[in-house]
């Protein structure tokens, strides 16, 4: 299953969060590594002033496994949200909607 992980952290905690993140992701099995990671260059929603938002896309068997991996990042000062994603093919929204409607 695919997950999007949002991490929100104060700018002054960037060094600590980056170090914790590097340590966490360097020690993961190949199949558990994130597919992509981004730092947003705009405020996507209401976040505290002087905060950064990073987004990680990865695949895992469960949200619990991801939560255990991101715990050290939370201890470094980030607020982390793990969001399960439903993959819908491009230009396939109507077909997916019909499938999930039942």
Tell me how far apart the alpha carbons of residues 27 and 42 are, in angstroms, rounded to a whole number.
Answer: 30
Give yes or no for a contact between 87 and 26, defined as CB atoms under 8 angstroms apart.
Answer: no
Distance, C-alpha 48 to centroid of its chain: 18
Taking residues 28-51, what's their average pLDDT?
79
Taking residues 45-49, what's their average pLDDT?
85
Listed by start position, the domains of the chain span 2-101
CATH of domain 2-101: 3.30.70.120
93 pLDDT above the threshold of 80:
yes
In terms of Cα–Cα distance, which of 12, 17, 51 is closest to 37? 17
Taking residues 33-40, what's their average pLDDT?
79
Taking residues 86-101, what's their average pLDDT?
85
């Amino acid at each position: 299953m695919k997950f999007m992980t949002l991490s929100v952290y104060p700018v002054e905690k960037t060094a600590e969060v980056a170090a914790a993140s590097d340590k966490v992701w360097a020690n993961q099995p190949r199949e558990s590594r994130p597919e992509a990671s981004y730092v947003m260059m705009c405020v996507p929603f209401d976040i505290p002033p002087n905060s950064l938002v990073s987004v990680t896309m990865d695949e895992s068997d469960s949200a619990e496994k991801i939560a255990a991996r991101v715990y050290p990042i939370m201890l470094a000062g980030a607020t982390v949200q793990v969001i399960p994603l439903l993959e819908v093919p491009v230009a396939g929204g109507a077909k997916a909607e019909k499938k999930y409607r039942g």
